[in-house]
Structure 1
Amino acid sequence: MLLILNGPNLNLLGKREPGIYGSGTLEDLERQCEEWGAELGLSVTCHQSNFEGQLLEWVQQAEGQGFTGIVMNPGALTHYSYALRDAVAGQTLPVVEVHISNVDAREEFRHRSVTAAVCRGKISGLGWAGYRFAMEYLNDLQA
């Protein structure tokens, strides 16, 4: 059972900078993740929040709710949320950080992730496929 978390502004997928993030909506992405999960034999739950505290709570509660891994796109929180970093570090589930765009090819402030160091890995710049690869990786860890 995987938890897919999307952070601030990802609710604007399809509207916000489609040249960078594509024309698909968050609902489209969540539906795609559920389909990929079904192909992998995984139950998938998707959440999005613009509020740091809500994301922290979902990370902290995940293991107790039976999740076996987390795919997380922290959005802008990637670059400055030590609280989110500590929430990920403070629990035992494997977490893969995912970014739709290639953050290292964008503005300088996007090059630093405070959360990646406490994640099992980071996938950046592969569009929605990054979510699929993260899901496959987490599924393989369970095997």
Structure 2
Amino acid sequence: MRLHVDQRHERVLALVRERGSLRVADLANELGVSAVTLRRDVETLAAQGRVQRLHGAVVWPGDTAAEERPRPVSAEGTVIGMIVPTTNYIFADIVRGAREAVGAQGGRLVLGMTGYVDSEDAVQAEHLVAGGAEGLLVAPSWFGGVPVDGQEK
């Protein structure tokens, strides 16, 4: 029996609250719906401020206990987050190489994109770590030099 959209949203909220973060594909599989349907559900819940949406994952918002709770063990091994300004141009090759290197070690690479907005680096880092990333690769999107204590060097 298929769940009504409201029932499905409540089930998504219950699972994300319980586990802290989940991959969208895993959650779709668990609920017996397509990944597209679940992505729409997550977008709706994120717009309401009930969850946080990441690339390929959903996280319980304001989860201050996430650091205290043991991270879920991924069937794909270690999760590495990578922050890039875009996946165009040279970054497409960089991301592909990182994904291959992480995959060769049995891990999974999760992306956060900043769109060349300097302040988005920290936001994406927080989301990736909250979503289960155990390490980060960062290609910062600085335009005017290297920031030192909030000021340009």
Select the structure with the greater relative contact order (CA < 8 A; seq sep ≥ 6).
1
More helix by share: 1
TM-score bracket relative to the smaller structure: 0.3 to 0.5
Question: If the length of structure 2 is used for normalisation, what is the TM-score?
Answer: 0.39
- Larger-Rg structure: 2
